[in-house]
């Protein structure tokens, strides 16, 4: 079985976000980059677990980005990937990214494609569904559990008020969220072996992006906290009514 895990480079959650060139570009200076947590902690780790159960599984990683993505790819290889593919292009357009991944996936004949449920920078959750459509594969989103028996995958996902269990024949595209696996940390053996694992760089296919970023804006600064004495209910009601507009 061949598994392809889609990963992306995102700013660490502690990074201070700012913009430049008239708020038209993200300022990357001083930013610490990490693997998107939903891709790493859940999608990728679940793929590693499947490989540990069946050593014949080939586990590949793919990302769309420039050479500055190589460190996060090497980290993924250190965690347990067999080889990696980087499409040498940079874009924030979901369709463009999904189409590039799909072009590579067509040539790889993968049985299973994992993505995280979303990215923590743009909070986009459309990549998995687009890949499935472009490859004409079934798609199951927001998986909290994933198992394989023969040629059938059993996927549990959260729905409003409960849980839904789906059975689907391979090949399939699945987006993963909390619950499907637990975070792992690379060990020294994995880090050393990652240096020799193949990282293939391919040029992008001729695909037109459908969207562009015109400008960025930071959210409004948070207002200060107002403390109200526990016995001053009247003041609390006044603040909720006149300032918070909550009642």
Instruction: Specify the CATH number of the domain 2-219.
Output: 3.40.50.620
Mean pLDDT of 156-180: 94
Identify the CA nearest to 62 among candidates 94, 38, 86.
86
Q: What is the predicted pLDDT for the residue at 8?
A: 95
Tokens of 93: 């357009």
Distance, first Cα to last Cα, the chain: 57
pLDDT tens, 180-231? 998 777 777 777 778 889 899 999 999 999 999 899 998 888 777 889 999 9
In which band, very low, low, confident or very high, does the pLDDT at 233 lie, cut at 50, 70 and 90? very high
- Max distance between CA atoms of the chain, in angstroms, equals 69
Q: What is the predicted pLDDT for the residue at 2?
A: 97
Whose structure tokens read 């996060």? 72
Apex 143 CA angle, 9 and 70, nearest 5 = 15
Q: Tell me whether strands 139-149 and 152-159 are parallel, antiparallel or unpaired.
A: antiparallel
Q: What H or E segment, with its residue span, contains residue 26?
A: strand 25-26
Mean pLDDT of 79-84: 93
Q: Where are the beta strands (DSSP E) in the chain?
A: 2-6, 9-11, 19-20, 25-26, 33-35, 58-64, 83-87, 112-116, 139-149, 152-159, 162-169, 172-176, 199-202
In which band, very low, low, confident or very high, does the pLDDT at 160 lie, cut at 50, 70 and 90? confident
Provide the 10 A C-beta neighbour count for residue 226. 10
Q: What is the predicted pLDDT for the residue at 35?
A: 95
Q: What is the predicted pLDDT for the residue at 188?
A: 74
In which band, very low, low, confident or very high, does the pLDDT at 5 lie, cut at 50, 70 and 90? very high
Radius of gyration of the chain (CA): 21
Whose structure tokens read 């996936």? 105
Tokens of 210: 């459908």
In whole numbers, what is the pLDDT of the chain averaged over residues?
92
pLDDT tens, 15-56? 888 999 999 988 988 899 999 999 999 999 999 999 999 999
Q: Are 61 and 84 in contact (CB under 8 A)?
A: yes
* Alpha-carbon dihedral angle through residues 46, 49, 51, 54, given to the nearest 10 degrees: -130
Apex 204 CA angle, 1 and 211, nearest 5 = 105
Tokens of 208: 């037109």
Q: What is the percentage of the chain residues whose pLDDT exceeds 90?
A: 73
| Alpha helices by DSSP H, 80-140 | 94-108, 127-135
Q: What is the predicted pLDDT for the residue at 141?
A: 95
The DSSP 8-state label assigned to residue 16 in this structure reads P
Residue 5 to residue 43: CA distance in whole angstroms: 7
Q: What is the percentage of the chain residues whose pLDDT exceeds 70?
A: 100
Residue 53 to residue 200: CA distance in whole angstroms: 26
């Amino acid at each position: 079985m061949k598994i392809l895990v889609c990963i992306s480079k995102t700013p660490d959650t502690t990074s201070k976000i700012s913009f430049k060139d008239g708020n038209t570009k993200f300022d990357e200076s001083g930013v610490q980059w990490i693997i998107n947590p939903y891709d790493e902690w859940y999608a990728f780790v679940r793929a590693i677990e499947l490989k540990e159960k069946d050593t014949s599984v080939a586990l590949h990683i793919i990302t769309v980005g420039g050479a500055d993505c190589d460190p996060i790819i090497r980290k993924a290889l250190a965690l347990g990937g067999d080889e990696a593919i980087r499409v040498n292009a940079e874009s924030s357009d979901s369709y463009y990214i999904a189409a590039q991944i799909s072009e590579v996936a067509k040539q790889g004949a993968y049985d299973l494609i994992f993505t995280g449920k979303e990215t923590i920078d743009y909070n986009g959750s459309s990549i998995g569904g687009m890949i499935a459509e472009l490859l004409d594969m079934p798609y199951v989103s927001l998986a909290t559990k994933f198992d394989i028996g023969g040629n059938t995958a059993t996927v549990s996902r959260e729905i409003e008020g409960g849980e839904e269990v789906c059975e689907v024949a391979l090949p399939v595209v699945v987006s993963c969220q909390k619950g499907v696996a637990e975070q792992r940390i690379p060990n020294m053996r994995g880090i050393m072996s990652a240096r020799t694992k193949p990282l293939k760089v391919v040029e992008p296919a001729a695909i037109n992006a459908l969207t562009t970023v015109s400008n960025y804006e930071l959210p409004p600064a948070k207002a200060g906290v107002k403390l109200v004495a526990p016995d001053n209910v009247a003041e609390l009601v006044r603040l909720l009514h006149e300032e918070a507009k909550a009642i």
